[in-house]
């Protein structure tokens, strides 16, 4: 089955009842799992979105379907504190036009 691309927007808000030590452990585990997903080609691109209220990122993820993307998201250690939006992407006709630089 062919891979599809999905726009994944994640906003993570740290609850006030989570200690600094606990959150540091979650962040370390999150980075390890994210690196695995990146090496496996699930996370194709990722960017940080500047925000003072939360940690936000936006990325292009690859998977065979939405369920596979959701399973990858659910495997993230910070998932309980994440608001996630997943949108299927399809190629635009302009991608066939060579860009001039």
- At residue 40 the predicted structure's pLDDT band, cuts being 50, 70 and 90, is very high
Q: What is the domain partition of the chain in residue ranges?
A: 4-92
Mapping DSSP to helix (H, G, I), strand (E, B) and coil, where does residue 78 land? coil
pLDDT score for 37:
98
The architecture in CATH of the region 4-92 reads: 2-Layer Sandwich (3.30)
Q: 5 and 89 in contact (C-beta within 8 Å)? A: yes
pLDDT score for 83:
96
Mean pLDDT over the full length of the chain: 93
The string of pLDDT tens digits covering residues 10-36 is: 999 988 899 999 999 999 999 999 999
Q: What share of the chain is helix, strand, coil (3-state, %, to 5)?
A: 35, 35, 30
């Amino acid at each position: 089955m062919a891979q599809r691309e999905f726009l994944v927007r994640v906003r993570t808000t740290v609850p006030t009842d989570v200690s600094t030590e606990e959150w540091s452990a979650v962040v370390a585990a999150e980075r390890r799992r994210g690196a695995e997903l990146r090496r496996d080609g699930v996370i194709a691109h990722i960017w940080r979105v500047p925000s003072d209220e939360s940690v936000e990122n936006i990325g292009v993820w690859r998977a065979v379907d939405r369920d596979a993307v959701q399973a990858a998201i659910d495997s993230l250690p910070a998932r309980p504190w994440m608001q996630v939006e997943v949108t299927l992407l399809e190629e635009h006709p302009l991608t066939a036009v060579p860009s001039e630089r």
